[in-house]
Structure 1
Amino acid sequence: MIFLAHQQAGYVRNYRQCYQWNLGFVQIPADSASLLRHQFRSKVGGRPAWLDPVHLPAPEHLICNKTGKPLNFLLQVYAPPPQESPEAFHRVIFLFISQQGSQLALPGAAKAFRCQLPRSNPYYSPEPPTPKQRLPPALQAGQVAQVASIDPWQVVQHEAALAAGETAATLSADPPTGVQLYKELEMLVEPESQGSTAGSDQESHVQQLVRDYEGMRGAEGELTEQDMPSELLAEVEANQTEDDRQFAHFAAVVAEAPGQCLRYCFDEGAAPLWPSCKHLPTPEDIPPCPHCGTPRRFEFQVLPQLLHHMDLDAEDPEGPDWGCIAVYSCPKSCSNFVSTDKSAYTEEFVWVQMP
């Protein structure tokens, strides 16, 4: 794998020349209330912080197509479009996965829903919340009744309990029935560092690791790449599989920021960082937006590193697992508002590559 390691610096450089990526890192929130819907945060686990708290996805849309059971809420990403849109001043993508983690690559075992609101809307002030506004604006009695019976996560009841003074720890000890609540984490999204520029004397983290590795092997009396005859080096290169090269690419990019759990880039032409060449979608696999007909565009991917932060049961054969979860959405962020099924949530497209 020496040759693969040496290729990594080039992979990172070539990958970065095209697009500016944003990376998501998770941390334990200082206060659970900081992740409620009026704070407009990205987060993992817990209950969904519904952007539109009234016109929720229809219950039948939150069912796994494989098992027929309710989907588990995995995460949500607060992602207003790069170009200002009056109809999408607030915009969130919600991601749900099957309770049967080994089946996530099957159609309908992972689903994403997009919701957006203009700046002036019935639920939130046009201005950001102040530190004193720990809880979201209360819903009207009729709205509470409307959503209480259809939301598997009982978000409105959860908000009411917090308003009544109950603690988040007490509430998490009594989760809603039928769905699993994953560990709640805040996701901080920040631009990917550009690292070393071409011609710089600084070495990347990956290059230094390769240097250390070769020094160690050389000290043990084994061949380094510099010691290899050119014919042998060419044979090593020829014996690499396409999957070897793909994983080297994946490992090189992720190694630049090992804590990353999410990669986000809504630029035209951006593509997921696949860990494998197997089970990749073709353009025909990704359906266009059903509302405006525009071809969907890759928006973000969830990396397997997130699994290490979720406190999952390692002995559970049906626990979630993935190599990459890629979400594709309408590049126009076309406005559906409230559809005929009274939902303000538009389903987008998800492709899962298993490990």
Structure 2
Amino acid sequence: MGRAHNFNAGPSALPLEVLRRAQAELIDYQGTGMSVMELSHRSETYEAIHRSAQDRLRRLLGVPDNYRVLFLQGGASLQFAMLPMNYLSRDAAAAYVLTGSWSEKAAQEARRFGRVQLDSQAKEDGYKTIPEMLDGEALAGASYVHITSNNTIYGTQWHAFPTTQIPLVADMSSDIMSHEVDVEQFHMIYAGAQKNLGPSGVTVVIVRDEWLQQANQDIPTMLQYGVHAKADSLYNTPPTFAIYLMDLVLEWIEEQGGLTAIASRNAEKSGLIYSVIDEYPDLFDGHAAKSARSHMNVTFRLPSDEQSKEFLAQAKALGFVGVKGHRSVGGCRVSLYNAVPVESAARFAEFMRDYARKSR
């Protein structure tokens, strides 16, 4: 059986080279007679994997020395609560820029710990756009500003990040490592690994040292960023196999030419799909405004639910996996994370054109 054209939104495609490497090392990692899954997280062998993953991430993303790189568990959803627990209080406020469902969930969690001020410009536009400028009223007096860099459900993406004197925090779960980022624009970046970094199970947090020192310490130990930073993310047993696979994925990104090459390839893939949407706008109704189109998740609808079902059934029969839109919005979604080959995007674009011609 051949490899599927995997357009799942997450967990998503992993590089075939990484899977083969992990397969070869699964039972005996570097002559230890053990799998990585069996290694003690306190062993020198595992600690070398841990350091390698941190170092590769720093190199690729250009993380400055005054930032800490943490490997945590609980996914980005835990960060929705962990962030305000560390940096928000009942008498303080945080600003949340709503650009989709995940930013709404993050704001909802923050309300448990303090006041939340919403920038709802994109929501008012049906989540088709990204704000050109932040809402000054929402930012007034805020302890931090939270954005979601890419919106998997609606298919929109920040292509230029906002500039603000207020600490800026970004959930980059679905587009981290897909293009270059100026880390110094942010006080904190967090991301679940299961889109571009590796398998589910590990979450990356990149936090500025000076902001780390300001975190609340009157919360449960496991939810304090400072505790994990002090222990180098080894306070308790980390998701060792997920971190090992992440290190292999980061090595693969280096071998592809780094983030510049990865970004170019991602733009090529999304461009193939968007070109068909633009060619047949009466059949494929793209959700995102052109200025906000995501390179990671292309979302669109057909004229009717019945036609969408027919289109999805034909796609599935041809081996295209994960094209059905999120259950909350329906329609279609093609996720084009780093490990999705250009060939898969090209074949899907060809299928879309063929479907359009036959539908005339």
Normalised to the residue count of structure 2, the TM-score between the two structures is 0.25
For CA contacts below 8 A with separation 6 or more, give which structure has more relative contact order.
1
TM-score, normalised to structure 1, is 0.26
Return the index of the structure with the highest Cα Rg.
Answer: 1
